[in-house]
Every structure is written in structure tokens, then in C-alpha cells.
């Protein structure tokens, strides 16, 4: 399995990224540095997470060159709209203390998403963002956006784990040529309670999270995953030295119950 994938205009993105949801500014700096130390080269944040400033401090101290790091952020609902997005982008750049961003997503579908996308297209064409995409967009949201978009989204980030496989959405995105990326890949810890996943992990001599991360990437998904200790960070990243069988993949797929650990984009209130 490749550790990077090409999206959009020949942009290489690490398959596994470090997620920073619900990590505050006071905590995120050292956690990001730990993640980079154990081998992550992709960081995922969002304006709504309230930790871009702390991540910026970490980037000032990191051992990597900026060009060796893939950095993602997202436009919050309160910042949607053309002018609002341009202002939000500049605030994120200042907080993160970088000269460009690798990927910027619309965090949630919104009545102003067409204007938000127009601003992102402009920033992309100006070379200030290397790739642009969306998050939590279902079929109707993508269809609506594509009515006016000049550039097709280069990623759709969705909740994805064994209890919510999003197969129809993944198939639709594949049809459109839009790679899918998983958030909440470990279902907020629910995976650790499942007997089937325990059994597969024991068989391969790996952790349960490694089984699920391997299932994610064998299913064709990019992934962002959060962990709070170096040991967990390493475990979630080290999934390239074993392979799940077709039967194991099918058994994990069959765990799907439609469970959501976050909001449903169809019901999300702006």
C-alpha cells in the first residue's frame, strides 16, 4: 500500500494524517510535535477547532521543512461566503504562520457554500492553496456545488468507520473522481468494544486500531486520526506490514449500522 496518494493537480497527500479535533491551543503544540516526531507528515485542523495558533507554534519548532509537511484546515460555517472566506483564510494563515496551505476544505455544507467555493477557487488559482475540497458533503450537497463550481473538489472528508461505512457516498465520490477521507475512523473508541475486531487483531498480532486503520486504507480511504500519546500515534500509523484478507474486509464491512459519532450533514443546523 502506498503511503501517499495523488489528488487534484498532481498534489501528493499522505494517506494517514494526524487529526486535532477537540485539542485546545494549550495542548496541541506538544501533541503535534510528538506526532511529527513519530512520523506523521500530515496535520489536519480547522478554524472551528480553535487551535490553529497552537499548531502555528508547533510548526515554528518542528524538525521538518515546510515543503515536507501537508497542512489542512477548514472554513467554518460562520466564515462561509465569498468575502468572509477570504478573510478567514488570511486569519488561518496568520495563526498557522505559513505562506501557503496544502488543503482547505469547506467544513460543512451551507447555503453560502457556492460563494465560499468561489473564494477557494480564487485562492487556489492564485497559488495560495495547493488543493481545495469539502467536508461532510452528501450527494445533494455535491450536486448543488457542482452546478456552479469551476473546479471539482479534490477531497470529500466524511465520517467513516466500521459502524458507518458510507459505501454509497464513497461510490458516488469515486464516480465523480473525488477521493474520500475519513474522520472519526476509530468511532470515538467504539471499535475497542467489538469482538470481531478483537479477534482479527489477535490473529494478526496487532492492535484493534491498527486493524481498523488498515481496513480504512485497504478500502481506498485517506484517513485523519487523533491520539494523545506517542504510543497510540505510532500504533495508528504503523499499518503497512500486514494485510487483511478479503473475508476479513467483508466481515468488517458487515458491521455497518449507520452509527454516527458526529452530526449528520443532512440535519446539521447552521
Q: So which residues are the catalytic ones?
A: 49
Task: Specify the length of the chain in residues.
Answer: 270
Contacts of 102 (CB under 8 A, 6+ apart): 11, 13, 69, 70, 71, 72, 129, 130, 131
Q: What is the rounded distance in angstroms from the CA atom of residue 185 to the CA atom of residue 239? A: 14
Return d(Cα 115, Cα 31) in angstroms, integer: 35
C-alpha cell at 261: 459519532
Give CA–CA dist 210/104, Å, rounded.
Answer: 27
What are the DSSP E strand ranges found in the chain?
A: 4-7, 11-14, 16-19, 42-44, 70-75, 101-106, 129-135, 156-159, 180-183, 222-225
The torsion angles phi and psi of 13, rounded to 5 degrees, stand at -120, 135
Cα-based torsion angle of the residue sequence 158, 235, 243, 177 in order, rounded to the nearest 10 degrees? 20
Q: For the CA atoms of 125, 116, 145, 69, what is the dihedral angle to 10 degrees?
A: 60
Amino acid at each position: 500500500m502506498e503511503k501517499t496518494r495523488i489528488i487534484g493537480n498532481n498534489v501528493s497527500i499522505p494517506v494517514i494524517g494526524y487529526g486535532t479535533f477537540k485539542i485546545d491551543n494549550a495542548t496541541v503544540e506538544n501533541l503535534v510535535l510528538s506526532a511529527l516526531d513519530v512520523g506523521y507528515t500530515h496535520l489536519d485542523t480547522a478554524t472551528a477547532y480553535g487551535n490553529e495558533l497552537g499548531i502555528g507554534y508547533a510548526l515554528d519548532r518542528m524538525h521538518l521543512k515546510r515543503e515536507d509537511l501537508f497542512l489542512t484546515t477548514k472554513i467554518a460555517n460562520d466564515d462561509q461566503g465569498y468575502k468572509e472566506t477570504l478573510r478567514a483564510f488570511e486569519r488561518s494563515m496568520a495563526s498557522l504562520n505559513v505562506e501557503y496551505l496544502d488543503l482547505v476544505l469547506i467544513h460543512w455544507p451551507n447555503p453560502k457554500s457556492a460563494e465560499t467555493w468561489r473564494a477557494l477557487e480564487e485562492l487556489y488559482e492564485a497559488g495560495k492553496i495547493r488543493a481545495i475540497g469539502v467536508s461532510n458533503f452528501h450527494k445533494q450537497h455535491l450536486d448543488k456545488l457542482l452546478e456552479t463550481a469551476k473546479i471539482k473538489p479534490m477531497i470529500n472528508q466524511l465520517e467513516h468507520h466500521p459502524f458507518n461505512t458510507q459505501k454509497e457516498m464513497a461510490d458516488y465520490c469515486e464516480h465523480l473522481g473525488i477521493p474520500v477521507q475519513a474522520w472519526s475512523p476509530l468511532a470515538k473508541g467504539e471499535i475497542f468494544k467489538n469482538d470481531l475486531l478483537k479477534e482479527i487483531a489477535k490473529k494478526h498480532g496487532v492492535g484493534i486500531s491498527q486493524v481498523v486503520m488498515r481496513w480504512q486504507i485497504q478500502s481506498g480511504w485517506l484517513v485523519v486520526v487523533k491520539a494523545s500519546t506517542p504510543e497510540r500515534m505510532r500504533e495508528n500509523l504503523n499499518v503497512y506490514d500486514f494485510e487483511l484478507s478479503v473475508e476479513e474486509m467483508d466481515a468488517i464491512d458487515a458491521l455497518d449500522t449507520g452509527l454516527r459519532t458526529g452530526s449528520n450533514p443532512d440535519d446539521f443546523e447552521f
